[in-house]
Each structure stands twice: as C-alpha cells, then as structure tokens.
Structure 1
C-alpha cells in the first residue's frame, strides 16, 4: 500500500510535460471534528494518488486545509469523492483565476495540530461564532461605508504585491503575529465600526472573525471565499474591482494577477515590479521581488555572496548546505539586509 510519494519533483514535472494535459488549480477548507486525522489522511492520499491529484493538504482534529492541482479530466471523479465525505459535501472550491499544470509537483497530505497555525487556544472562545460572510457586491458596499475598517489578514510578503484599496496591511511574518497587533490597533473601534477582514481563500478569517467577536468587536464581517472568489464574482457580475495588484498564492505560480496595477518594487533596484522569486542559491532560497534586469545581472540570486555560491559545482554547494535548514527565514524578504529596497 503506497501512502507516500515515490516520484521526485523533477520526475513528476517530466510526466506532466509528457502528458500535456490541462490541470486545474484549486483550494478548499473545512472546519470539522475529525476523530482520527491519520486514518483520514491515509484515506485521502490513497484516493487522490489514484486520481493523479497533486498538492499540499493539512489535516487536523479541527478539519482540513487543501491546495491542489487536479487533472481536468478527473475533476468530476474528484468532486464526487469529496462530496461523499459528509463534512465536505458541496464545500466551496476556490478555483484559481490562472492555472498552471506545474502548480504542484507532489501530493503531500500531512497531519498537523491545526490546519492554520494561529497560536490560539480554541477552548477559550466559541470558534463557531464567526463574523458575517459577505459576497463581492456586499463587500464593495461595506468598503464605501466611512464606518468601515478594512483589515488584510495576510502576511507582509502577500499584501506587498496586492491588497484592497484602503486596507490596513499589518507588517507581520505570520498570521499568529497579526491577531494581537490588530486587536490593539483597533481597540477604539470595537463598538461602532465595521471590522471587515479578508485573506486569500477565507480560512484565516474564519477563525479570526470568531476571535475578534470574542474580544468584544460588535460588527465583524469577512469576505466569503477570500480574494480568489472575489475576483471571480467581480468578473462574472461586472462589479468594480477594488483590489490592486496580484494575489499571492502558495504554489509554484506564486501569484495570480487580479488587476493591472503594479504596487510593489524590485527589492534590488527599486523599479516597479511585483514578481516574486526564490534566490537561486538553494542554501538561501530567500523569497523576494526581482525584476528581469536584476535577475540577469544577479544570476537569479539575492546577493553577490549567493551568486558566488551558486556558481560553484553542485557537489560543493551541497556540501556547504549540509545540515543547514532554511526554515521560515526564506519568507522574511523585507527584513533581509542584502536587499537595498526593502519593505
């Protein structure tokens, strides 16, 4: 019984290229009580591996958080499978605006303590007492209300390349960092302001809205389906698009364009640019914004030091990074001292 990947990312990439078939990039989440996450995890892996589904999925006692790449030809089979799971029947699937057959190159289903690392003690408040879900049209109306405070629940590297007009964008590295900061900054608005939140697909707002209601905020709203669903509704209903720039996504695409606005800058020269890359030096792998000119000049690296390392033979590079891990430092691009034009 195969419960884990046997193919490398490169081997999978070659198979995808050879097949030449369309794949759909999508995501979904659901809070539910799962008695045995490991058993559920194995059930998902066995089924999805047979369907050639790829992606990153977290399973916990509190539910599931999934980001997937599904062969278009297998979508109906995939949908039937999840609909037969009682708490996933008719779950909202956030279908990407832009698809890439190589968005994911492995199927990773992991058991975690939580499906989103929020740092909260769920037993201390009612996690089901969530804020009011609003669609794109109602969301736009709330943004036009002078009594609305709009908050981006994402991290700094996400909001830097795209966010809604007038949004508060906390300068944080993680979701758990943002919760107490927002609470403190908005403490004077608990009674009379509309607290409106949004994130990529909605999952972070699910828990955050309940948390802020517990903390005394009276009028709490969240954008249903997040930026992904908002963009879809705006296009379908011909609504005003109040989002500026790109929506950051956690797959090989790194982002999808929601508007033509470019609101970020190359971290190396300051030129208007919103293209995220990872430093070509595998021992660094820093996530940062780099324009085409700097990519050529710096050989796709973030610094001269990384350029030197990246020019070494592969075996020497491998020896240098032996026993070292990148951890979450790869996301702290705005804090890296090697970048001249930081956040």
Structure 2
C-alpha cells in the first residue's frame, strides 16, 4: 500500500511531459469536524494517487484545505470521489484562472493541527458564526459604499503584486499577524462601518469573519470563493473588475494574471515588475520580485554572494548548508538587506 510519493519532482515533470495530457488546477476548503484526520488522509492519498492527482492538501480535526492538479480526463472521477464523502458533497471547486500542467509535481496530503495557521483558540468563540458571503456583483456594490472598509486578509508578498481598488493591505508576514492589527486599526468602526474582507480562495476570511464578529464587529462580509471565484464571475458574467494586477498563488505558477497592470517593482533594480522568484541558492531560497533583466544578470539569485554560491561544486554547497535552514522567514520584508528596492 503506497501512502507517500516515490517520484522526485523532476521525474514527475518528465512523466507529465511524456503523457502530453492537459491538467486542471483547482482548490477547495471545508471547515468540518473530522474525528480521524489520519484515516481521511490515507483514504484521500490512495484514491487520488490512482487518478494521478498532485497537490498540497492539509487535513485536520477542523476540516480540509486542498490545492491540487488533476488530469482533465480524471476530473469527473475526482468529483465523484468528493461527492461520496458526505461533508464534501457538491463542494465548490475553485478552478485556476491560468492553467499550468506543472503547477504541482508531488501529491502531499498532510495531517495538521489546523488547515490554516491562524494561531487562534477556537474554543473561545463560535467559529460557525461567520460573516455574510457575497458574490462578485455584491462585492463591487459594497466596495463602492462609503461606509465600507475593505481589507485584504493576505500577506504583504501577496497584496504587493495585486489587490482590490481602495483595499487596506496590511504589511504583515502571516495571517495571524493581520488579525490583531486589523482589529486595533478599526476598533472605532465596529458598529458604523461594513467590514468587507477577501483572500485568495475564501478560507482565511471564513475564520476571520467569525473572529471579528466575536470581537464585536456588527456588519461583516466576505468574498465568496475569494479572488479566484470573483475573477471567474467577472469573466463569465461581464461584471466590472475591481481587482488590479496579479493574484498570488501557492504553487509553482506563483501568480495568475488578473489584469495587465504591473503595480509592484523589481526588488533589485526598482523597475516595474511583478514576477516572484526564489533565490537559486538553496541555502537562501529567499522569495522576492525580480525583473527579467535582473534574473538573467543575477542568475535568479538575490545577491552576488548567493550567485557565487551556486557556482561552487554541489558537494561544497551541501557542506556549507549544514546546520542552516531557509525557514518561513523567506517571506519577510526587509529580511535581506541586499534587496535595495524591497518595499
């Protein structure tokens, strides 16, 4: 019984190329009490592995958060598998705006304490008492209301390349960081303003809306399906688009283009750019924005020191990496002084 990946990312990429079949990137989430997350995890891995599903899926006692890629020809079978699970029957699937056959190269189904790292004690408030879901048209109407405060519930590296017009974009590194900051900044408007929130696919707003209602906010709204579903509705229903730039995504695509506007800049030279890269030095792996010219000049590295490192023999690089770890701090603004134009 295979319950883990046996192929490397490179081997999987070669198989995808050889298969020559289109794949669909989708995401979904559901807050639901799961008695045995490990059992569900194993069931999903076994079923999805047979369908050549790839992706990153978190299962916990509070629910499931899934981002995955599936061959187009297996999409119907995947939907049938989901419908066979009571709490996932007819679940809304957010289909990626821009498709890439290599958005994921491994199937990772992990059991976690939480499906989103929010740092909250769920026993202290009613997590089911969520805000009002709104569609794209309703979101636009609320956005135009002078009594509305629109807040981006994503992190700085996400909103930096794209966000809704007029939205507050907290300069935070994590979702948890934003919760207290937003409450403090808006404490005088808990009753007289509409709190309108959005995120990538809706999952962060689901928990945040319940938290803010618990904290005394009276009029809480959240964008149903997040930016992904908003864009789908804009494109299919002819609704005016209020989002500008790119939507950051957590797979190998890194972003989906919503509009042609480039609102960010290269962190190395300052020219307009909105393409994220991870430093090619495996001992660094810093996430930053890099234009094509700097990418070529710096060989996808964030600094000359890292550029020199990648030209050392592989075994030497491995030796120098010992005892060092490129943690989640790769996302922090100002972590590397070598990025002259980082915001």
Aligned to 1:119: 119
**Structure 1 Cα separation of the partners of residues 322 and 13 of structure 2:** 25
8 Å CA contact retained: 1:288, 1:333: no
- The 5 A counterparts of 1:97-176 are 97-176=97-176
Q: Deviations over 1:277-308 (max 9, x none)?
A: 11011111110000011111111100011011
**Structure 1 Cα separation of the partners of residues 279 and 307 of structure 2:** 9
**Structure 2 Cα separation of the partners of residues 340 and 105 of structure 1:** 33
- The 5 A counterparts of 1:62-81 are 62-81=62-81
**Structure 2 Cα separation of the partners of residues 19 and 242 of structure 1:** 39
Aligned to 1:33: 33
Q: Deviations over 1:250-276 (max 9, x none)?
A: 000000001111100000000000000
Aligned to 1:3: 3
Aligned to 1:278: 278
TM-aligned CA deviation for residue 319 of structure 1: 1.4
Q: Deviations over 1:179-198 (max 9, x none)?
A: 00000000011011000000
Aligned to 1:184: 184
**Structure 1 Cα separation of the partners of residues 300 and 236 of structure 2:** 38
Structure 2 residue runs without a partner (length 5+): none
TM-aligned CA deviation for residue 150 of structure 1: 0.2
**Structure 1 Cα separation of the partners of residues 121 and 84 of structure 2:** 31
Describe the SS at the equivalent of 2:59. strand
TM-score, structure 2 as length reference: 0.99
Q: Deviations over 1:14-67 (max 9, x none)?
A: 101111110000000001110000011000000000000000000000000000
**Structure 1 Cα separation of the partners of residues 251 and 57 of structure 2:** 12
Aligned to 1:316: 316
Describe the SS at the equivalent of 1:181. helix
Aligned to 1:17: 17
TM-score, structure 1 as length reference: 0.99
**Structure 2 Cα separation of the partners of residues 163 and 138 of structure 1:** 17
Q: Deviations over 1:55-110 (max 9, x none)?
A: 00000000000000011010000000001100000111000010111000000000
**Structure 2 Cα separation of the partners of residues 335 and 259 of structure 1:** 29
May I ask how many residue pairs the two structures share in their alignment? 343
8 Å CA contact retained: 2:133, 2:222: yes
**Structure 2 Cα separation of the partners of residues 287 and 63 of structure 1:** 29
Q: Does 1:306 align with 2:309?
A: no
Misfit runs of 4+, over 6 Å:
none
Structure 1 residue runs without a partner (length 5+): none
**Structure 2 Cα separation of the partners of residues 320 and 92 of structure 1:** 46
8 Å CA contact retained: 2:329, 2:335: no
**Structure 2 Cα separation of the partners of residues 322 and 12 of structure 1:** 27
**Structure 2 Cα separation of the partners of residues 3 and 324 of structure 1:** 29
Describe the SS at the equivalent of 2:270. coil
